[in-house]
Amino acid sequence: MKNIQVQPAEGRLGVLVVGLGGAVSTTFIIGTLAARKGLAKPIGSMTQLSYLKVGKGNNQREGLIKDLVPLASLDQLVFGGWDIFPDSVYDGAMHAQVLTEKDINLVAEEAKAIKPMKAAFDPNFITRLNGTWCKEGKSKWDLMEQLRADIRNFKQENNCNRVVVIWAASTEAYLPMSDVHADLSRFEAEMKNPDTKLVAPSMCYAYAAMKEGAPFINGAPALTVDFPAMWQLADETGTPICGKDYKSGQTMMKTVLAPAFHARMLGLAGWFSTNILGNRDGEVLDDPASFKTKEVSKLSVIDSILEPEKYPDLYGDIYHKVRINYYPPRNDNKEAWDNIDIFGWMGYPMQIKVNFLCRDSILAAPLALDLVLLSDLAKRCGFKGIQKWLSFYFKSPMHELDEVPVHSLFEQDRMFRDKLREIIGE
């Protein structure tokens, strides 16, 4: 086992959120502010509530992850970020209607003081939103340089020792990987092309973050940092990156149920998933181009868990369909239905029905908190590039092109805990 030298978590940690006024962001920030005042519980956060067993035999012990692992504390976090609308975190939370006014008002003054910087925005990548608080630039390279300046200024003005950048904005239109994304120099040249359609705004944030030495977390299913040019940049800058797409509701259930079918050697004929969602994310996903990005992320889960190439009789002919429908009356309260057709002894069919009435942002907020703390830890450990040990948190975990990602929640949990033990020398 390599001896990992962990730099201490000293000083303030800046948390720069892309999509600062959105449902996930405001829920995450207000919940964290309330938790550090002892006014709310950070339920769903592994770093804050989960125990870790370390040692062997008579030396085995356990403690809370936050007590055993040298993470930054909630008191050290300073929030900021960017948004295409000028609303403060307080106003954004009121608009999102995820949290009640009573709970938002627990930290009203702090939330009102957190206001977004102007965002890098391209309506070609998110067609359903009309941003009013956006940067102007001749190229994506120009926008990226403005974002770098924002990071430096925020860090200086808020006396932060370190910064983490996390994407919690809407899903961008589907963008397949091309030759431009295969090499860093070609990608940089494309960023300077004023007419480019191959560089999404999220890539500008990721590039800017890495150039400023800040870990980048991709909470959406877009390409963003999931291509060789960005991996090269992460290596050159010594920066951790992770993603993509927070594993919150329906997909979390798939990563629990599919391993159970595999463990029991039960066959799977079909899996139909549909959702209704009414928040800003639902509105954006009503656009077919943005939905395509989400669909690719959601559909990637089952095959790697079930290994159809090994078990063609059980999993060689699965019909897998995913649908998301925009339904404004539900706001952030998503409802997901799954119809699962399985078969068992002598091929006899059976069915499982799952109806998950979840709250998307309530499930995603603790993931955002954990990822911020763990990405900062990764940076202080000297880790760089794709952080596969954080796969637990994502629908479509990042991996090298020639690798198969781990999707089973239980296997991901083992990877996560083993890495924490390694970090603390256990």
Q: What is the pLDDT of residues 232-246, one digit of tens each?
A: 999 999 999 999 999
Indicate the average pLDDT of the chain.
Answer: 94
Residues 196, 339 within the same domain: no
User: For residue 401, what pLDDT band results from cuts at 50, 70 and 90?
Assistant: confident
- 353 and 377 housed in the same domain: no
- Residues 260, 379: one domain? no
Q: What 8-state DSSP symbol labels residue 37?
A: T
Binned at pLDDT 50, 70 and 90, residue 257 comes out as: very high
Q: Which of 402, 414, 221 is nearest to 301 (CA)?
A: 221
Question: Of 312, 342, 359, which closes a domain?
Answer: 359
Tell me, what's the pLDDT at 136?
96
pLDDT of 284 strictly over 80:
no
Q: In total, how many domains does the chain have?
A: 2
- Give the whole-number percent of the chain exceeding pLDDT 70: 97
Do 173 and 70 sit in the same domain of this protein?
yes
Average pLDDT over residues 1-16: 91
Within 10 angstroms of residue 170's Cβ, the number of other Cβ atoms is 25
170 within domain boundaries: yes
Residue 149 has pLDDT above 60, yes or no: yes
Distance spanning both ends of the chain, measured CA to CA: 9
More reliable by pLDDT, 31 or 402: 31
Q: How confident is the model at residue 311 (pLDDT cuts 50, 70, 90)?
A: very high
Q: Is the residue at 7 inside a domain? A: no
The residue range of the domain holding 390 is: 12-246+362-423
Q: Is residue 391 part of a domain?
A: yes
> Is 2 among the domain residues?
no
pLDDT of res. 299: 67
Give me the mean pLDDT over the 295-309 stretch.
80
- pLDDT for 35: 98
Q: Residue 306: which CATH number?
A: 3.30.360.10
pLDDT at 57: 87
Query: Does 304 share its domain with 232?
Result: no
- Is the domain of 163 the same as that of 240? yes
Same domain? For 221 and 323 the reply is no
More confident residue, 100 or 333: 100
Which helix (H) or strand (E) segment holds residue 91: the answer is helix 89-96
Position 398 confidence tier, pLDDT thresholds 50, 70, 90: very high
Predicted confidence at residue 2, as pLDDT, reads 65
Please tell me the predicted confidence (pLDDT) of residue 9: 97
Gap between the Cα atoms of 62 and 340, Å rounded:
38
User: What is d(CA 241, CA 379) in angstroms, rounded to the nearest whole number?
Assistant: 10
- Which of 359, 374, 405 lies at the terminal end of a domain, its last residue? 359
Return the pLDDT at 303.
84
Q: Are residues 303 and 381 in the same domain?
A: no
Same domain, 150 and 293: no
Other C-beta atoms lying within 10 Å of the C-beta of residue 325: 15
Mean pLDDT of 334-352: 96
Enter the tokens of residue 304.
């790697």
Give the model confidence (pLDDT) of 67-82 as tens digits: 999 999 999 999 999 9
* pLDDT > 90 fraction of the chain, expressed in percent and rounded: 82
**170-184 average pLDDT score:** 94
C-alpha to C-alpha distance for 65 and 247, rounded to whole angstroms = 20
| Same domain? 353 vs 397 | no
Question: Is 6 inside a domain boundary?
Answer: no
- Co-location of 339 and 370 in the same domain: no
Global pTM reads 0.93
Q: What is the CATH number of the domain that holds 142?
A: 3.40.50.720
Q: Does the pLDDT value for residue 314 go beyond 80?
A: yes
Question: How do residues 182-210 score in pLDDT, each as one tens digit?
Answer: 999 999 999 999 999 999 999 999 999 99
Amino acid 64: pLDDT: 98
Which of the two residues, 203 and 59, has the higher pLDDT score? 203
Cα 133 from chain centroid (whole Å): 24
pLDDT at 293: 63
Determine the pLDDT at residue 289. 65
Q: Which amino acid is located at 150 in the chain?
A: D
Any long-range contacts for 311-314 (C-beta under 8 Å, 24+ apart)? 311/265, 313/267, 314/265, 314/266, 314/267, 314/268
pLDDT at 265: 98
How much is the average pLDDT of 268-293? 80
